């Protein structure tokens, strides 16, 4: 039976594993070097994001209020950048000591394709005793996701003892690595991909690792789940497939996090794996890990420079303008009646999830019906002008209905973003987004900011 949302309060989702800094250098390659027959990439943007277990933690923080990452952190510039990115995403880091320097992986990409990867850093987890803060977090965890990247965290003796002990009552999902440690006994789910399974069946791996269940992920073909009752193939739902998408970087992390969330909410393993296959497929279809990156230098590309072209009530026109360039479309919505710090943070984080951000803005009549006869304090056209002036907003669409469902049915975004003061179950539009193959992301809110409270204070 699924637990209610309130049962999860003060029980974090804990991610355990090796973190690194991932860098994507994006540009265009239209010529060869005169020194050698190799492409010259003209850099247009440089993106950074947490990698490994850090990426898994950021993915979890898109839908969870309390995410704890247990990882080894290096005392160097790359380690500092990694820690800052994690903090910005709302992840609490409990650090283990590291021997060596932070691992950094740099991908050079052109026209959406990876051309070269450069790795540097020698860092591995050090020590053999888990800090008390780590033990406390894992003991009260709602679920634990182990993201092993072969850098020593899963071989840490103290961490292994904790994982073995808590698995008797806390769901533990383990995403293994060929160079990593063997999963600890009693895991609720171990999820290797085909290469990591090395031709072994889920049933044989389940016995080998003494796990409750093993799921071999098969990419676009779904997953093969093995339990004590036998094996089951779980296919990718048709609504989660989008033609032309294909960057699978981070898909395994998205799968493991979704499975841990479902098991932590009380679902059985078949339901959890089904949800995980769906989540991983949507993640790949909406841009993969690249869509999780933060720009080291702000991308100043806009749909148009004229205000009249940024503000519209024609949803189809906004959609087609973005789709023609093949970009990942992110959308969010609301009244935005007095823009404040919380709104700005939401809009900037939403824009970083894709290539273009469309804001669905409630019209004056819509705000009045939702907020009362004294609202809005700013007319829709003025609210739209303020939003359109932000570098992170590519278009503003004004709609008259109380709910954005009809507008979303026409816009069909890849990702729909709302503040974390909602749950997905409270969003009637979530079904519309998912029906068109999109993903719903809940971002953390900034405590203490409310348009209604600001307006009331000003009027008093």
How far, in Å, CA of 66 to CA of 60, rounded?
A: 9
* 345 phi/psi in degrees, rounded to 5: -65, -45
Task: Confirm if 61 and 89 have CB atoms less than 8 A apart.
Answer: yes
- Catalytic, out of 148, 175, 253, 278: 253
Which 3 state secondary structure label does DSSP give 400? coil
How far, in Å, CA of 216 to CA of 222, rounded?
A: 9
Instruction: State the sign of the Cα–Cα–Cα–Cα dihedral 238, 259, 19, 62.
Output: positive
Per the omega criterion (within 30 degrees of 0), is the bond before 376 cis?
Answer: yes
Active site annotation includes 253:
yes
66 to each of 58, 69, 91, 123, 432, how far by Cα in Å? Answer: 11, 10, 8, 27, 27
Length of the chain as a residue count:
460
Which 3 state secondary structure label does DSSP give 144? strand
Task: Confirm if 344 and 437 have CB atoms less than 8 A apart.
Answer: no
- What is the spatial order of strands in the sheet that 104-110 belongs to? 113-120, 104-110, 19-32, 39-52, 294-295
* 305 phi/psi in degrees, rounded to 5: -100, -20
437 to each of 22, 158, 229, 252, 393, how far by Cα in Å? Answer: 27, 42, 32, 19, 23
Active-site residue set: 253
């Amino acid at each position: 039976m699924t637990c209610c949302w309130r049962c999860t309060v003060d029980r974090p989702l804990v991610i355990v594993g090796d973190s690194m800094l991932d860098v994507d250098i994006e540009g265009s390659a239209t010529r060869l070097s005169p020194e050698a027959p190799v492409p010259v990439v003209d850099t247009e943007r440089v993106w950074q994001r947490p990698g490994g277990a850090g990426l898994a933690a950021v993915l979890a923080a898109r839908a969870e209020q309390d995410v704890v990452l247990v990882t080894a952190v290096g005392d160097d510039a790359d380690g500092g950048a990694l820690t800052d990115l994690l903090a910005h995403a709302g992840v609490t880091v409990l650090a283990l000591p590291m021997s060596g320097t932070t691992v950094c992986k740099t991908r050079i990409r052109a026209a959406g394709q990876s051309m070269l990867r450069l790795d540097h850093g020698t860092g591995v987890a050090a020590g053999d005793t888990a800090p008390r803060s780590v033990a406390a977090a894992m003991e009260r965890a709602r679920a634990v996701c182990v993201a092993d990247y072969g850098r020593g965290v899963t071989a840490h003796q103290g961490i292994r003892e904790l994982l073995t002990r808590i698995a008797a009552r806390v769901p533990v999902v383990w995403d293994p690595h060929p160079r990593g440690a063997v999963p600890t006994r009693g895991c609720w789910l171990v999820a290797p991909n085909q290469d990591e399974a090395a031709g072994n069946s889920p049933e044989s791996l389940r016995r080998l690792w003494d796990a409750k269940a093993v799921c071999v992920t098969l990419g676009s073909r779904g997953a093969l789940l093995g339990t004590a009752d036998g094996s089951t193939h779980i296919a990718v739902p048709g609504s989660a497939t989008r033609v032309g998408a294909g960057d699978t970087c981070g898909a395994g992390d998205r799968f493991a996090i979704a499975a841990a969330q479902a098991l932590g909410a009380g679902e059985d393993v078949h339901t959890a794996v089904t949800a995980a296959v769906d989540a991983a497929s949507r993640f790949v279809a909406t841009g993969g890990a690249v869509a999780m990156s933060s720009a080291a230098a702000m991308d100043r590309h806009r749909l148009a420079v004229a205000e009249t072209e940024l503000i519209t009530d024609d949803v189809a026109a906004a959609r087609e303008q973005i789709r023609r360039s093949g970009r990942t479309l992110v959308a969010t919505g609301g009244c935005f009646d007095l823009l404040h710090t919380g709104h700005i943070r939401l809009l900037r984080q939403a824009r970083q999830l894709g290539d273009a951000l469309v804001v669905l803005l409630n019209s004056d009549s819509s705000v009045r019906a939702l907020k009362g006869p004294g609202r809005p304090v700013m007319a829709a056209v003025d609210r739209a002008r303020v939003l359109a002036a932000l570098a992170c907003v590519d278009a503003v669409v004004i709609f008259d209905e109380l709910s954005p469902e009809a507008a979303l049915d026409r816009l069909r975004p890849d990702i729909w973003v709302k503040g974390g003061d909602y749950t997905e179950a409270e969003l009637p539009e979530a079904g519309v987004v998912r029906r068109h193959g999109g993903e719903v992301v809940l971002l953390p809110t900034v405590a203490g900011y409310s348009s209604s409270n600001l307006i009331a204070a000003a009027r008093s």
